[in-house]
Structure 1
Amino acid sequence: MAIGIKQSLTYEEYAAFPSDRNRYELLDGDLLVTPVPTPQHQRASKRLQRQLEAYFEEQGLGEMFAAPIDVILSNQDVFQPDLVVARSDRIASRGIEGSPLLIVEILSSSTRERDRVLKARRYAQLGVPHYWLIDPDIPRLECFRLESGQYVLAVQAEGSATLEHPDFPSVTIRLAALVR
């Protein structure tokens, strides 16, 4: 079960947490704790990374990373998204500093509302241009684009459909391959 602890924390306090089996994040200073992902979750993450990694690097758009890696958007906003694409000038020794090009979250029963509402709102406020949500239970992929400070749905697909992204020519994602 994911929990949130209301207490204003900074990156320095966050960095002092133990390295255990939980995923720790800060959302506007509030501590978020999530248990380790399920095999279904990890499978979807790994398979999407395989489908996308070469595209982003070959196009010079950035490097793709899988969790756990800190994405430090402010001193009180530190996330560990399932997948993230960042330009080389954002990659530092402590993680990704500043807004990456893309954040991908894979929904689970314990993170669904947090990822869909709280994180989406905060990522938009902090200027993350692209935010994708994968629901492996349906399966569905929703790709949001930041416009005027809010996310709008750019494209989505579900079931066994193949998704072609309008902002990333030549990106084709086979949903069935993510969750089989």
Structure 2
Amino acid sequence: MARIEPKWSYGHLRELPDDGNRYEIGSGELLVTPAPGTRHQAIVGNLFDLLRRAALHGHGKVFVAPVDVVFSPHDVLEPDLVFVSSGNLPIVKEPNIEGAPDLVVEVLSASTRERDLSAKLHIYSRYGVRYYWAVDPKEECVHLYERVNDALVERPALRQGDTLASPLFPDVSGSVVDVFKQ
């Protein structure tokens, strides 16, 4: 008889040690990622500056990893950055976010690229995330996904010379060049 492995849940995740790894759950499976590197963190900081300006303009709140986004007991992800619009703030709880943020940002790396562009994209789409930015340091571009009906649909990527903006905060934008500054 085959042994059935139990699904990981948010309760299991909360019991894991704080050992420098990033732990997430996707479809009940434990996902482990090593701590990000310095270039990754510099890009996250640059994006945080942009999203923080949107928050200061009253459009919502920004959160930077580590923060758990609990979509379901078996789908708990830790995006690099999360933006929750003012109208959606009731999903912000203590100690996590319970439900779909308006914008999720992942900075791709060699160890996360495939997961960020497939499994995590699928989860973000399934649970109602409105916008997803997959930031590619290797190509220095931002892959944009926008909710159309019931799914996230890829839009043209932004590259050097383009401006990064969102309908979530129409009066705030930034240069793609600035995203990748060290």
TM-score (norm: length of structure 1): 0.89
- CA deviations on 1:125-166 (whole Å, 9 max, x unpaired) are 111111111001210012211112221134531134323445
Does residue 78 (structure 1) correspond to residue 76 (structure 2)? The answer is: yes
Conserved 8 A contact 2:67-2:78? yes
Paired residue type of 2:65: A
Does residue 141 (structure 1) correspond to residue 142 (structure 2)? The answer is: yes
Between the aligned residues of both structures, percent identity stands at: 35
Paired residue type of 1:169: P
Aligned partner of 2:65 in structure 1 is 67
Range with greater deviation from structure 2 (169-178 or 105-114): 169-178
CA distance in 2, matches of 1:170, 1:154: 21
Task: Count matched residues.
Answer: 174
Long gaps (5+) in structure 1: 1-5
Long gaps (5+) in structure 2: none
Paired residue type of 2:171: S
Per the TM alignment, residue 122 of structure 1 is displaced from its structure 2 partner at its CA by 1.1
Per the TM alignment, residue 171 of structure 1 is displaced from its structure 2 partner at its CA by 3.2
Per the TM alignment, residue 17 of structure 1 is displaced from its structure 2 partner at its CA by 0.5
- 1:59 to 1:123, Cα distance in 2 relative to 1, 3 A: same
Aligned partner of 1:118 in structure 2 is 119
CA distance in 1, matches of 2:80, 2:12: 22
SS at match of 1:41: helix
CA distance in 2, matches of 1:106, 1:26: 18
Conserved 8 A contact 1:156-1:163? no
Highest CA radius of gyration, 1 or 2?
A: 2
CA distance in 1, matches of 2:61, 2:165: 20
Which 4+ residue blocks in structure 1 deviate beyond 4 angstroms?
none
- 1:55 to 1:131, Cα distance in 2 relative to 1, 3 A: same
CA distance in 2, matches of 1:112, 1:53: 25
Per the TM alignment, residue 57 of structure 1 is displaced from its structure 2 partner at its CA by 4.4
Aligned partner of 2:152 in structure 1 is 151
Aligned partner of 1:11 in structure 2 is 10
Aligned partner of 2:21 in structure 1 is 22
Conserved 8 A contact 1:155-1:165? no
